[in-house]
Amino acid sequence: MSQKIKISDLPTFDITEYLEDETAIAEYLTVVLEENDPAALADALGTVARARGMTVVAESAGITREALYKALRPGSQPRFETIQRVCTALGVRLTATPAHA
């Protein structure tokens, strides 16, 4: 007889444990970008920034830690300049591909 496992007994999945380098970060952000949801992108950038350290990312992006938290909170609509600066601080860049490839 198989043993039943309760959902509450399963470990919580934390994507930040897998965002160890720029390649993993780029792959994660690429998947999120395919959703065409600006709020999801802001949330994903916030997740990556937390994985790297908000203070470090904010300093590298040239913005305050508080402004970074505010820009990347759920439901926010950060300016493209902010997204670009955060991506640069994370060591990734956004690229365009044909939509009907």
CATH number of the domain bearing residue 66: 1.10.260
Q: For residue 36, what is the DSSP state?
A: T
Q: For residue 16, what is the DSSP state?
A: G
What is the per-residue pLDDT for 60?
97
Total number of domains in the chain: 1
| Cα distance between residue 5 and residue 83, in whole Å | 41
Whether the full predicted model's pTM is greater than 0.75, yes or no, is yes
What is the per-residue pLDDT for 53?
95
- Whether 9 is covered by a domain: the verdict is no
What is the per-residue pLDDT for 46?
94
- Whether 12 is covered by a domain: the verdict is no
Domain span at residue 29 reads 23-90
Q: Which of 31, 36, 42 is nearest to 69 (CA)?
A: 42
- Whether 68 is covered by a domain: the verdict is yes
What is the per-residue pLDDT for 101?
62
| Cα distance between residue 63 and residue 61, in whole Å | 6
- Whether 82 is covered by a domain: the verdict is yes
Residues of the chain with pLDDT under 70: 1, 101
- Whether 79 is covered by a domain: the verdict is yes
What is the per-residue pLDDT for 3?
84
- Residue 80 in tokens: 């493209």
